[in-house]
Amino acid sequence: MWLKPEEVLLKNALKLWVQERSNQYFVLQRRRGYGEEGGGGLAGLLVGTLDAVLDSTSKVAPFRILHQTPDSQVYWSIACGSSREEITEHWNWLEHNVMKTLSVFDSNEDITSFVQGKIRGLIAEEGKGSFVKEEDPEKFREGLMKFEKCFGLPEQEKLVTYYSCSYWKGRVPCQGWLYLSTNFLSFYSFLLGAEIKLIISWDEISKLEKTSNVILTESIHVCSRGEDHYFSMFLHISETFLLMEQLANYAVRRLFDKETFENDLVLHDPLQITKRGLESRAHSEQFSAFFRLPKEETLKEVHECFLWVPFSHYNTHGKMCISENYICFASQDGSLCSVIIPLREVIGVDKGDAANRGVSISTKGKTAFRFTEVRDFEQLVAKLRMKCNATSSPQHINTEVAASSTSDSPKDFDAGPSKMGQRDNSKTVGTEALMTVYHPQDAENLDSKMLKEKMKEQSWNILFVERGHGVSMFRTKKTRDLVVRGIPEALRGELWLLFSGAVNVMASNPGYYTELVEKSLGTCTLATDEIERDLRRSLPEHPAFQSDTGISALRRVLTAYAYRNPQIGYCQAMNILTSVLLLYAKEEEAFWLLVAVCERMLPDYFNRRIIGALVDQAVFEELIRVHLPQLTDHMSDMTFFSSVSLSWFLTLFISVLPIESAVNVVDCFFYDGIKAILQLGLAVLEYNMEKLLTCKDDAEAVTVLNRFFDSVTNKDSPLPPAVQQGSSLSDTKSDHPKVDITDLIRESNERYGDIQYEDVESMRCRNRLYVIQTLEATTKQNVLRVVSQDVKFSPGDLEELYELFKKEHFLSCYWNVNSPVLQHHDASLPYLDQYRIDCQQFRVLCHLLSPWSHCANRDSLALWTFRLMDESSDCLINFKQFACVFDTMYNGSFTDKLKLLFKLHIPPAFTEVESLSPSKGGDLSKEELIHFSQLSGKGKVDIQAYLKQWQDELLKKEENIKDLPRMNQSQFIQFSKTLYNLFHGDPEEELLYRAIAVVTSLLLKMEEVGRRLQSPTSPVKGPVAITEVPAEIPRKGQEESSSEQTEGSRAQSLRGNHEWSFAFEQILASLLNEPAFVRFFEKPHDIKVKIESAKNLQLKARIRV
C-alpha cells in the first residue's frame, strides 16, 4: 500500500527494522522478528507487542519502503506491505517506472519533490474507487490494511471504524484493537508472543449492553452463541457502543427481517455504510421520532439557542433542529417546551437584533417565533429563506387553501384532498367522524357530564389562545396535564392527528387516500379475506359498527392500508385500533393515523412475527425488574407478563378496558408514544401488587387483572350508557372497588414519569437482538425436531450441521447486495423453508463435509447431488434435504450409498457436465454450476415419469430396487469414472481398480449375452474389443488420465452398437462379490472431524469462491 510520504528518523529505527534491499534512492526493510524462526527471539516478541499496542504506521505492516537521496540523513516512508509479494510488487514498480526518471534531476530536492508527488498521485488514483470516506483518510487506510492483514476477510467486507481497547480473557485484560465492519465485530491483540484473534458476526449476537462492576468501571458486554465477551478502556465508550448497537441491529434487520430491509435504502447497500453516515442516521432517527416527523426527514443542522416563550415571558434554552421541511425546537432546561414549525407554514424569516444574534420566523397562523443567541445567525437566515422559497412553490395550491385561515388545523387540510378526490368517491369516503353521526351533542340539554366536557373544551381553547393552535403550537407541561385529564370528544380526532404527526404526512399527500380507495376496492387477496372475516368483530357492541356506514368505512381504511403496505397487509388487532380511530377522526384522518401507528410509533408491531410487540414486552419485563422487584421475586417465570401484556401493546389497552376508558389511554399514547403504555402497564401491576403476590398460579393472576380492568371506569365520559362498556358491570361487580382511568393515568405519570424516551429506545435496541435470536432458536429447535426423525446423526452433530447450513446462507448475503438467497428468506414460511441454499452454496458445504470430497470430479458430484435433492426445481434446497443426503453418505448401508451414487448418474440428477475452461479439469465456475443446476434434463427423458417412479422413495417409504430406472450407456460410463475417482488415494486403490474393472467386464458380458439371446440372428460387431477393455487396469501410482483413456476407448467401441442399459440390481449383485468394494463403502467416517474442520474453513472457502 502506498503511503503519504512522512519523514523517518532512521537512527532510532535500526533496532526495529532489518534492511533487505537498497539502491541509490530506495530502501526495502523488514520488521524485526517477522518471518524469522522462533519469532526473532525476545527482540522480535517485544517488537510484535509494540506493533499490536501502538497506533503507528510501524504497527501495521511487516515490510516498508523508504525513499532516500544521496548525502542526506532524511528518509521518507512511501509504501508498506503485509506480505513479501506485495512489497516486492511495489519495489519492482519503482525500479521500472521511477528509477530511470530520477537520474535526469540536478538536485536532491527536485528528486524528493518528484517522488512525493508521484506517490500522492498514486494514492489519489487508488482512492477514487475506494469506500474510504473518513475524517482522517491516512490513518483509516492504515487501520484498514491491518484489518485486512489480520483477519483475511473478503475485500468487499467494509470496515466502518476501529478503536483501541482491552479484551478481558478471564481476569486478564489484553490490549489490542477492536474493528467494527458491516458484518463482523473483530478483535486483534499480540502481547509477548500470545496472539488473540476474535471474529464475531453481528447476526450471532444475542446481547449487547454497557455494564460496570468492581473490576471494570465501564465495559461493553457482548454475548454470542452463549459465550460472553467483555471490552473496556475505550476513549469514548458511548460513541463506540452506539455504533456497535447500530451495526448489530442493521445486520439483524438485513438478514432476518426481509420486510424492513426492502424498504431501507441504506441497509440495501451495506457497502455504503460509514461511521459518519451511521452517526448522522442515528441523530436523524432520534430527531424524527422525538418530534413525530416523517421517517424520510434528515437532520441537517443543530443550533443551541434561546426561544422566547410569550405566555411565560422568558427565554427557554434549548436546541433548534433543522431538516429539509421542518424547524423544530426542544428545551433543555426542564420546562418541557417544544415547537414544530413546518416550512410550508412559514411566510417570513427575518434577522433580529444583531447584538443578541436573533432570528424571527413568522407563520401563516399569525405567530412569530423569536430565537436568540444563534451562532452564524445571518447565514442561517439566508438558508431558511432559500428553503422556504423552495418549499412553498410546489405547494402553491395548498398555500392558498390555508392562507385565509388563522391556524394549521386539520380542518384546513380536509378541503384540499376532498376537492381533488371528489369525483365518484364523495359517496364512498366518509367525511365525518362516526361519533358525530351516532352521538351528536345536544347543546340545549346539558347534564353534569356534558358540562364537565364543555369545561374541558374551554381549558383547551384557553391553551390554544395562549400557546397557538395547530402544528406550530407550543407544547409544554400544561399540554401534557390536559392530555392526562382526557381530551374532549370534540377535539380528540384533531389532536390525535396533531400529536401523532399524521397531520404532516396528510398535508404533503393531498388526494392520496381517495386514489388508494379507488385502486384497492374490489381487490381480492389474503389480506382482504382476513379483513372481511374480522369486520364485524370490531367493537360489535357500538352502534356505529352495527350499521353499514361504520363497517364500510372500516373496510375501506383497512383495505387501503393493506394495498399501500403489502409487507404488513393486515394483522389482527388493526381492526380494533382502526374502529376506535374512526369514531373520533374522519375517514382519511383515521387512515393517516393508522399509517403513523403502524409505520412510525409502533414499528414492526403488525408484521407476521410481531417482532416490535415482542421487543416492547421485553422492555416491559426489564422495567418490571427495575421498578417492581418484589413482583419479579415472586413470579418464577417472567413469561407470564409477556403472555398477559401482549394485547395491551397490540391494541393500546382497547381490548381489555371499556371503550370510554380506553380512549383516554389512546390520548396519552399519541402524545407520549409507547412510554405511556409502559407507564400504565407498571401502574396496573403496582395497583394489583398485593393480590398478585398471593396468587398461586398464572390463571389466578390473569383473573385478578381481568377483574381489575372490568372495574376501571371513566366517570367523566359523556358517552351514552348504552355505548359505555363499563356501565353494564357496575351492578354485577359492585364488590370490586372502582378505579377511575384519569386517576390511574395520573398516578402512572407521577410514579413512572421519570422513564426517559431515550432510555426506552436504548432498551428497544438492546432487546431487539435478544427477541430475534430467541425466535431463531425456536426455528432451529423445530427444524431439528423434524429432521432428527429421518436421520441417524446425533443431536449435537445435527445441530452443528444446521449452524453450518445457516451460516452458508448468511455468507451469501454478507457481500452480495442482491443475493437471491436473501430475497427468498421469508420468516412467515414453514420452519424448514425459512433458510435454503442454492447450488453454489451447496458445493462449498459439500467440499467441506462430504466423505467423497477428494474425488476429482467433486464439482460434478455436488451438482448432481443438488439436482437430486431439488424436488421443487426452484434451484434451492432446505436443511432436511441437505441432512438426509449427508446421512446416507455417513450412516447409510452399502446398498444405500450405492443406490445414491446410482441415482446421481441417471435423470433428473444427471446432466452432461463439461467445463468451459479445460485447464480447470473437473472444476466448474460459479456461473457454470448455476447454469447446469437449472437444466431440466437431457435428451427426451421424461422427468415426470422418473419423479413419479421415485415418489414413494422421496416420502421415505420402502422401495423395491427393481423399480429404479435403468442406467444407459453414457450414464454407466460416467458412473464408472466416478468410482475410479473415488478410489484414488485409498490404501486398497489397486485392488479397487481391479474390482471395478472385473465388475465392468462382467456386466458388459452379461448384457452382450442378453442381447444375443433376444436377437440371435443379428450380427454383433466387436464383442472381443468390448470384453477386453476392462483388462486395461490403471496401476497404483499411475496418472488419472489412464482411467479416463480406458473409459474413452470403451465408449468408442460401444458407439457402434445399440444403447446398452443396466438395472441397479445387476450392478449391486456384481459389486457385492468384490470384498474390497464392500469394505470401501462400509468404512466408517467421523463427521465430527469434518464439522470441526468446516467451522474453521467455511469463511476461507467462501473467500476463495
User: How far is the C-alpha of 288 from the C-alpha of 280, rounded, in Å?
Assistant: 12
Helices 1041-1055 and 969-983, axial angle in degrees (round to 10): 170
* Segment 294-349, tens digit of pLDDT: 988 999 999 999 999 999 888 899 999 999 999 999 998 766 799 999 999 999 99
Cell triple for residue 242? 452506539
* Segment 735-792, tens digit of pLDDT: 568 899 999 999 999 999 889 888 898 899 889 999 988 988 999 999 999 999 999 9
CB 291 within 8 A of CB 338: yes
pLDDT band at residue 191 under the 50/70/90 scheme: confident
Cell triple for residue 516? 388508494
- Average pLDDT taken over every residue of the chain: 80
Q: What is the DSSP letter of 963?
A: G
What pLDDT shows up at residue 400?
Answer: 31
HSE, side-chain direction, 13 A CA sphere, residue 989 = 16
Is residue 397 scored above 50 in pLDDT?
no
| For range 968-982, the mean pLDDT | 89
What pLDDT shows up at residue 1034?
Answer: 41
pLDDT band at residue 568 under the 50/70/90 scheme: confident
CB 591 within 8 A of CB 561: yes
Higher pLDDT among residues 485 and 58, named by residue? 485
| For range 818-842, the mean pLDDT | 76
CB 576 within 8 A of CB 650: no
E runs forming strands in 254-324 = 301-309, 314-322
What pLDDT shows up at residue 1036?
Answer: 40
What pLDDT shows up at residue 415?
Answer: 37
Question: Across the strands, what pairs with 17?
Answer: 31
What pLDDT shows up at residue 216?
Answer: 63
Is residue 1028 scored above 50 in pLDDT?
no
What pLDDT shows up at residue 148?
Answer: 86
Phi, psi of 111 (to 5 degrees): -60, -50
Helical spans, DSSP H, in 299-395: 377-392
User: How far is the C-alpha of 650 from the C-alpha of 656, rounded, in Å?
Assistant: 11
Q: Are strands 712-713 and 739-740 parallel, antiparallel or unpaired?
A: parallel
Helices 879-891 and 839-849, axial angle in degrees (round to 10): 30
> What is the residue whose three cell numbers read 434549548?
318
Which of these ranges, 59-63, 225-229, 551-555, 645-649, has the smallest mean pLDDT? 59-63
| For range 485-490, the mean pLDDT | 92
Is residue 1040 scored above 70 in pLDDT?
no
3-state SS, 373-412, equals CCCCHHHHHHHHHHHHHHHHCCCHHHHHHHHCCCCECHHH
Helical spans, DSSP H, in 54-107: 84-97, 99-102
Neighbours of 496 (CB within 10 A): 27
Closest CA to 719 of 759, 679, 660, 677: 660
Q: What percent of the chain has pLDDT over 90?
A: 35
- Residue 865 host element (H or E): helix 858-869
What pLDDT shows up at residue 3?
Answer: 84
Q: How many residues does the chain have?
A: 1105
Question: Coil, helix or strand for 305?
Answer: strand
Each as own residue / partner, the long-range contacts of residues 909-917 (CB below 8 Å, 24 or more positions apart, any chain) are 909/864, 909/865, 909/867, 909/868, 910/864, 910/867, 910/938, 910/971, 910/974, 911/863, 911/864, 911/867, 911/935, 911/937, 911/938, 912/938, 912/970, 913/857, 913/859, 913/860, 913/863
Phi, psi of 70 (to 5 degrees): -55, 140
| For range 421-435, the mean pLDDT | 60
User: How far is the C-alpha of 120 from the C-alpha of 545, rounded, in Å?
Assistant: 74
* Segment 71-125, tens digit of pLDDT: 777 888 888 887 788 889 899 888 887 887 787 777 888 888 888 888 877 776 6
Question: Is the N-terminal amide bond of 294 cis, ω within 30° of 0?
Answer: no
Q: DSSP secondary structure string, 1010-1053?
A: HHHHH-TTS----HHHHHHGGG-PPPTTS-THHHHHHHHHHHHH
CB 204 within 8 A of CB 255: no
CB 1014 within 8 A of CB 1098: no
CB 680 within 8 A of CB 484: no
User: How far is the C-alpha of 319 from the C-alpha of 332, rounded, in Å?
Assistant: 7
Longest dimension (CA), the chain: 120
Is residue 991 scored above 50 in pLDDT?
yes
| For range 36-65, the mean pLDDT | 58
Q: DSSP secondary structure string, 549-606?
A: HHHHHHHHHHHHHHHH-TTT---TTHHHHHHHHHHHS-HHHHHHHHHHIIIIISTTSS
pLDDT band at residue 810 under the 50/70/90 scheme: confident
Residues 6+ apart with CB under 8 A from 948: none
Which of these ranges, 8-12, 174-178, 423-427, 575-579, has the smallest mean pLDDT? 423-427
User: How far is the C-alpha of 713 from the C-alpha of 738, rounded, in Å?
Assistant: 7
- Residue 682 host element (H or E): helix 674-687
User: How far is the C-alpha of 108 from the C-alpha of 502, rounded, in Å?
Assistant: 70
Burial of 424 (0-12, 13-18, 19+ CB in 10 A): exposed
Is residue 496 scored above 90 in pLDDT?
yes
Each as own residue / partner, the long-range contacts of residues 388-393 (CB below 8 Å, 24 or more positions apart, any chain) are 388/343, 388/346, 388/347, 388/349, 391/325, 391/343, 391/344, 391/346, 392/343, 392/344
What pLDDT shows up at residue 399?
Answer: 31
Cell triple for residue 12? 532510532
* Segment 536-563, tens digit of pLDDT: 888 888 888 888 889 999 999 999 999 9
Is residue 665 scored above 90 in pLDDT?
yes
Is residue 602 scored above 80 in pLDDT?
yes
What pLDDT shows up at residue 299?
Answer: 93
Q: Are strands 172-181 and 75-81 parallel, antiparallel or unpaired?
A: unpaired
Its pTM stands at 0.77
* Segment 838-850, tens digit of pLDDT: 898 899 999 999 9
What pLDDT shows up at residue 412?
Answer: 41
Q: Are strands 184-191 and 346-351 parallel, antiparallel or unpaired?
A: unpaired
CB 319 within 8 A of CB 305: yes
What pLDDT shows up at residue 168?
Answer: 85
Cell triple for residue 392? 412553498
Is residue 270 scored above 50 in pLDDT?
yes
What pLDDT shows up at residue 369?
Answer: 94
Residues 6+ apart with CB under 8 A from 690: none
pLDDT band at residue 442 under the 50/70/90 scheme: low
* Segment 499-516, tens digit of pLDDT: 999 999 999 999 999 999
Q: Are strands 326-331 and 739-740 parallel, antiparallel or unpaired?
A: unpaired
pLDDT band at residue 567 under the 50/70/90 scheme: confident
Neighbours of 1008 (CB within 10 A): 16
Question: Coil, helix or strand for 795?
Answer: helix
Neighbours of 788 (CB within 10 A): 15
User: How far is the C-alpha of 496 from the C-alpha of 678, rounded, in Å?
Assistant: 19
* Segment 209-229, tens digit of pLDDT: 998 876 666 889 999 988 999
Cell triple for residue 174? 489484553
User: How far is the C-alpha of 227 from the C-alpha of 248, rounded, in Å?
Assistant: 17
pLDDT band at residue 59 under the 50/70/90 scheme: very low
Is residue 1026 scored above 60 in pLDDT?
no
What pLDDT shows up at residue 54?
Answer: 52
Q: What angle do CA 467, 471, 473 make, to 5 degrees?
A: 10
